[in-house]
Structure 1
Amino acid sequence: MDVVDTWTGRAACLLQQAMRMTNEAFAEHLGISERTISRWHASPEMVHRTEVQQILDIAHREAGEDVRHRFALLLRPPAPRMEAQALRVAIAVVARGDEILLVCRRGEGELRWQFPAGMVKPGADPSTVAVQETHGETGVHCTIREQLGERVHPVTGVVASYFLADHLAGEAANRDPLENVDVAWVPRAALTRFIPAEQIFPPILTALEATV
């Protein structure tokens, strides 16, 4: 049986929880006032005086095995929480004169045009990923002009970081045929024919209009 070296307000309240008693019932069980129980709840760090320590020792010792087991579980410090890493993608909006680079991805029963993008692993720089993935998918070398912002993508639900980029070199080619069906430069005026306007991150359209 676990032994409590020092009863605090928190430990006493956990014993009450393990015994599944109300403040009134727990107070009657221990032979003390209900106000005292309420004070323990309000001051979890308080250390009880000697006679109260003895009362709680007895209550713990005489509790059933199931109560002592629940109490031991409640008394354990919580395991450290592992923060989930949100899925993040880096998206490159690559401009070449009056044209924008798009890839046509294989979806679930449909084809979907979108900007080159790649998953950002923990610790990676999204802008670097945007450049590398653009080249890996299309063979196009580009350089980042500016970051356009972030949002939770309305279709995929992942965190998306957007970058406006300029074409440096390379002809567009489908270098990832497992993921993509086609790669193309499309006139910026025709962009919404390929990607519905409501799915395009608004700062993208603003940035493209400013560079006309």
Structure 2
Amino acid sequence: MTQEAFAGKLGVSVRSVASWRANPDMIPQQETQRILDTTLAMAGDAVRRRFIHLSRTAIAQPEVQALRVAIAVVRRGGDVLLVCRQDGEDIAWQFPAGIVKPGGSASKVAVRETLAETGVHCTVREHLGERLHPHTHAMCDYFVCDYVHGEAINGDSSENVAVAWAPIAELARFIPTDRIYPPILDALEATV
């Protein structure tokens, strides 16, 4: 239908229909919405299918992805690799991690960021799971990794204050256990 024909069918002004077309995000007044709903309900199946298709196409927006972080829990014998981050005034030990770009591989990011931040080469042994981090609200993928070679060095002094191999048995001295994803603790206990 033309805008004029559609306005005549609804009993509204042509200017109103033109305004809806120009501003598709506009929310009609309650009475106008009732008229539109009734008209759609009375339309045939083909018209309703076309309306649904067009409305989905019109409001389709790029998919938004939550911030995703890959976390590497690198084991070497009875030790685990940690980085000490400085975030403003806070200094905290944590496992090496990196941001996963949309469409990227979390396991590859875990390995690549571990090497970049610490100089340690590792391989992924197991994906431990994922969760929405309770403090950062980032979606986190956790990987247990095996040490391959390399000396632990601070490869990213803009993010890290230090890098260290911490004894797994003393991990709580570095990171409070209530802040560690429980499957990590289970995986590390299995190696001690």
TM-score, structure 2 as length reference: 0.76
Alpha-carbon spacing, 1:45–1:210, altered in 2? closer, same or farther (3 Å): farther
Q: Hey, what does 1:91 align to over in structure 2?
A: 71
Is 1:151–2:131 an aligned residue pair?
A: yes
Is 1:109–2:119 an aligned residue pair?
A: no
Is 1:43–2:31 an aligned residue pair?
A: no
Which residue identity lines up with residue 176 of structure 2 in the other structure?
Answer: P
In structure 1, stretches of 5+ residues that fail to align are 27-36, 48-74
Counterpart-to-counterpart distance in 1, 2:164 and 2:132: 26
Q: Hey, what does 2:48 align to over in structure 1?
A: none
Q: Hey, what does 2:31 align to over in structure 1?
A: 21
Q: Is the 8 A contact 1:40 1:46 kept in 2?
A: no
Structure exhibiting the larger radius of gyration computed from Cα positions? 1
Q: Is the 8 A contact 1:90 1:130 kept in 2?
A: yes
Q: Hey, what does 2:160 align to over in structure 1?
A: 180
Counterpart-to-counterpart distance in 2, 1:138 and 1:20: 60
Counterpart-to-counterpart distance in 1, 2:169 and 2:87: 25
Q: Hey, what does 1:3 align to over in structure 2?
A: 3
Give me the identity figure in percent: 50
Q: Deviations over 1:58-84 (max 9, x none)?
A: xxxxxxxxxxxxxxxxx9x74322221
Matches within 5 A, 1:133-212: 133-212=113-192
Counterpart-to-counterpart distance in 2, 1:38 and 1:85: 34
Root-mean-square deviation (CA, aligned residues, Å) is 3.2
Which residue identity lines up with residue 133 of structure 1 in the other structure?
Answer: E
Q: Identify the structure with the greater strand proportion.
A: 2
Which residue identity lines up with residue 204 of structure 1 in the other structure?
Answer: I
- Aligned-pair distance for 1:156? 1.0
- Aligned-pair distance for 1:91? 0.3
Q: Tell me which of 60, 65, 68 is aligned to 1:80.
A: 60
Q: Deviations over 1:14-64 (max 9, x none)?
A: 97x8575389xx9xxxxxxxxxx69826715349xxxxxxxxxxxxxxxxx
- Aligned-pair distance for 1:192? 1.4
Count of residue correspondences? 169
In structure 2, stretches of 5+ residues that fail to align are 18-26, 46-54
Counterpart-to-counterpart distance in 2, 1:122 and 1:177: 26
Alpha-carbon spacing, 1:116–1:12, altered in 2? closer, same or farther (3 Å): farther
Q: Deviations over 1:149-199 (max 9, x none)?
A: 000111211000000000000010001001000000000011111111111
Counterpart-to-counterpart distance in 1, 2:101 and 2:32: 49
- Aligned-pair distance for 1:211? 2.0
